[in-house]
Amino acid sequence: MSEMSNREEKAFDDAKAILSEHFDNWAIVVLDNSDSLTYDYTNYYIGKTLCRETLFEMNKDDLDIIWEDAEIEDEEEDGT
């Protein structure tokens, strides 16, 4: 894992604790502003499988993400 500040490390540990409380199998991956990658998972095979399946889902052609266009359209309809 990369060097994290105490605040970042606490947030990462809190996220792992919440996931562990609610799910048997989990993986968490974080990329900070300095492009440092931090990750953890239930175990190696779970982490590998979850990351592979996530990448597979993200590479599907039916993924449609609209970030700001919806907000702009809503504002235009409201007249703001």
Closest CA to 41 of 33, 52, 32: 52
Task: Answer yes or no: is pLDDT of 21 > 70.
Answer: yes
pLDDT tens digit string along 25-80?
999 999 888 888 899 999 999 999 999 999 998 888 775 667 776 555 566 666 65
Look at the pTM and tell me if it is higher than 0.75: no
pLDDT at 64: 66
Q: pLDDT higher for 1 or 73? A: 73
Domains parsed from the chain with CATH numbers: 6-78 (3.40.1810)
Of 55, 58, 23, 59, which is closest to residue 41 (Cα–Cα)?
Answer: 23
Task: List C-alpha distances in Å: 6 to 3, 9, 12.
Answer: 9, 5, 10
**Cβ(43)–Cβ(27) below 8 Å:** no
Query: Does the pLDDT value for residue 14 go beyond 70?
Result: yes
